[in-house]
Structure 1
Amino acid sequence: MRVLVAYASKYGATEGIARRIGKRLGERGLEVDVMDAKELDESSGYDAYVVGSATYEFNWRKPARRFVERNAEELAAKPTWLFASGPLGTEKVDKDGNDVLKGAEPKQFAKYEELVHPRGTQVFRGAYHHDKIRGADRMIVWMPALRDIMPEGDFREWDAVDAWAGSIADALAAAPSAQG
């Protein structure tokens, strides 16, 4: 079974998550391609899809949005999962007691529910390092007040990524088309 893991990453944290998902799916016997969404024009030839993006201001990056919207018919017809990365830090709940990961869901999760009917969605924590910031994002580094509220570090929870990838592999193994 062929699986495409498509991602949109700005600084590499989301790419790392996508590659980890691809690696875990491959270890479970699936044929996996992990590709940057901006390099993909179309999606045919795959039996399943995992699409993810870094999230900024509750939105996926444009290459991931374009990929899903251009290929919605194909993704809706096959098993598809969506993920996002973005929240920083280790807090489980925010100051109001709300789940941090649930609160960080991109707008696209709701929008794409009707468009591609994903089998599952997941938000993962991201990574942030002052020294990697470039372009217009540099204002964060230039403004001490902003820089000081941005937790610095790699907050990706690899056990959660592995577990989610495992659940995808399990679902694909149980799919009728996977039985041959």
Structure 2
Amino acid sequence: MARKKVVINPIVGERIKKLRKEKKISQTELAQKLNYETGNTVLYWENGRSSVPADILDQLADIFEVSIYYLLGKTDTKINWAKYDEEHQEILSAIEKANQFEDYLKSIGFGIEVKPHGESAIYILSRNEKSIEISAEAFEAFQESIENYIQFEFFKLNERKE
């Protein structure tokens, strides 16, 4: 199947060359990452003698950690928003998971308070007039321990049923 070609755009070649040099990657190394045998193809792109296939633009954006729009000269911002959004979603997912665990603890009678502590946080857990301060890392380990315990108990219940 023939690859879709992008109209030869000298900016694409210039940006590939600039990014490649910033990453200290030779033309041959870049070609190999893209499953080409020699660096000649990269040389032709950089010199504006050949167009870059659309699927390769996507791979180049990943390799250089920039957006396709940057490679095409549509923006001067290098940020790969798709990657940012993916990382952003992972952070949001982790926050949501922590919030659900906090809600669970509250539902079984624990008080919970979160205080900023440098770039992290301190969790204050309380119950029956007793409290304990733990780091964010310890809180995550506590959460994982509780999840593992619940899975274990579920496994035991399931074994009894059979």
- Of Structure 1 and Structure 2, the greater strand share is in 1
**Bigger Rg, structure 1 or 2:** 2
* TM-score for the superposition, normalised by structure 2: 0.22
* TM-score for the superposition, normalised by structure 1: 0.20
Q: Which has the higher contact order (CA 8 A, sep 6+)?
A: 1
